[in-house]
C-alpha cells in the first residue's frame, strides 16, 4: 500500500557550503574528529545565526517540537586531518602575554573538505518561516554563519519553497536525505552499496546538555539515493523521491 495523505508541510529549501567544516564528535577526547554532516542541533544553530537568535535561545525556538529539519548531502564526504595550534589562554591572561609564543600545543583536527548540504526547514511559526525565507533569499544574515567552528565561515543560497506531501507506504521508496535509523523498516543492501551509520546529537538544550541522540544512516556520495521501506511517514519532494526529517 502506498498512500499520499492530505497532510502537507510547507518547506523552505536552501543550500549551504564552505571550504571546510568540523562537527565535533563529543566522545572524542585525544583528537577532534568530525561527523560526516551537521547534526540537527547544529543545523538549528546555523539557522539561528541567520535569523539573529541568541545562542541560549535557539535550542528552544528551533527545537524538534517547534520545527522540522532534514538534510541532503550534495558533495562527496571527504575528510582530512590537520594539526591546529591551541594557545594556553590561562597563561595568556595571568601572565599578560609573556607566554603567548611559549605555551601552546598542537591538536589533530579532522575537517570535512568542500562540504555542501541541502537543508529542508519547516515550522508552524509563519513569521519565523517568512523571516528566514527573506534572509536566505536576499542573502542576509544577522550573525556570521559557520560550519561547526566559528572560523569555518560558510555561504548559503535560496533554492525554493515547496509544499511536501506526507506519504505512508509499505513499499520501497527512494530517499535523498540522511535517514533516522528509527524510521527504517527494511534497507535494500543490494542497491545501497555505500552506506554509513553515525550516532549524532539530536537535541542540546540552552545549558549545553545533550538530551537526545539519534542513529542515522547516510551515503557519503553526493546526491546518492537510499532505498528503504520506512516504518513511519516520509515526505515527497518529487514524483519518486522523498526525504525524512531528523
pLDDT in tens, 34-78: 999 999 999 999 999 999 998 889 989 999 999 999 999 999 999
Domain count, the chain: 1
120: CATH: 3.30.70.2660
Residue with cell 562537527: 23
φ, ψ of residue 111 to 5 degrees: the values are: -125, 150
Q: Is 38 helix (H, G, I), strand (E, B) or coil?
A: coil
> Residue 246 and residue 239: Cα distance in Å, rounded?
21
pLDDT exceeds cutoff 70 at 131: yes
- Rounded to an integer, the average pLDDT of 147-155 is 93
Going by pLDDT thresholds of 50, 70 and 90, the confidence category of residue 175 is very high
Render 126-138 in DSSP notation, one character per residue.
Answer: HHHHHHHHHHHHT
What pLDDT is stored for residue 106 in this prediction? Answer: 78
Query: Does 102 score more than 90 pLDDT?
Result: no
Q: Is 158 exposed, middle or buried (0-12, 13-18, 19+ CB in 10 A)?
A: middle
- Domain holding 43, by residue range, is 2-243
Q: What is the pTM of this model?
A: 0.90
Amino acid at each position: 500500500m502506498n498512500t499520499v495523505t492530505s497532510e502537507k508541510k510547507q518547506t523552505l529549501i536552501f543550500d549551504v557550503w564552505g571550504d571546510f567544516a568540523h562537527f565535533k564528535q563529543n566522545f572524542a577526547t585525544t583528537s577532534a574528529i568530525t561527523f560526516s554532516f551537521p547534526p540537527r542541533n547544529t543545523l538549528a544553530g546555523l539557522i539561528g545565526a541567520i535569523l539573529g537568535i541568541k545562542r541560549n535561545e535557539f535550542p528552544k525556538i528551533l527545537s524538534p517540537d517547534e520545527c522540522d529539519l532534514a538534510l541532503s548531502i550534495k558533495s562527496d564526504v571527504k575528510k582530512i586531518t590537520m594539526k591546529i595550534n591551541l594557545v594556553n589562554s590561562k597563561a595568556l591572561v595571568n601572565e599578560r602575554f609573556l607566554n603567548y609564543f611559549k605555551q601552546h600545543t598542537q591538536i589533530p583536527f579532522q575537517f570535512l573538505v568542500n562540504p555542501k548540504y541541502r537543508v529542508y526547514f519547516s515550522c508552524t511559526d509563519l513569521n519565523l518561516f517568512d523571516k528566514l525565507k527573506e534572509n536566505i533569499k536576499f542573502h542576509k544574515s544577522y550573525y556570521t554563519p559557520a560550519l561547526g567552528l566559528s572560523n569555518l565561515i560558510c555561504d548559503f543560497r535560496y533554492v525554493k519553497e515547496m509544499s511536501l506531501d506526507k506519504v505512508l507506504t509499505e513499499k520501497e521508496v527512494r530517499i535523498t536525505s540522511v535517514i533516522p535509523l528509527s524510521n527504517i523498516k527494511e534497507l535494500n543492501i543490494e542497491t545501497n552499496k555505500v552506506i554509513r551509520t553515525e550516532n549524532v546529537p539530536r537535541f542540546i538544550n540552552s545549558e549545553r546538555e545533550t538530551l537526545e541522540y539519534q542513529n542515522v544512516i547516510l551515503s557519503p556520495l553526493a546526491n546518492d539515493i537510499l532505498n528503504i521501506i520506512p516504518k513511519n511517514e516520509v515526505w515527497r519532494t518529487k514524483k519518486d523521491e522523498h526525504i525524512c526529517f531528523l
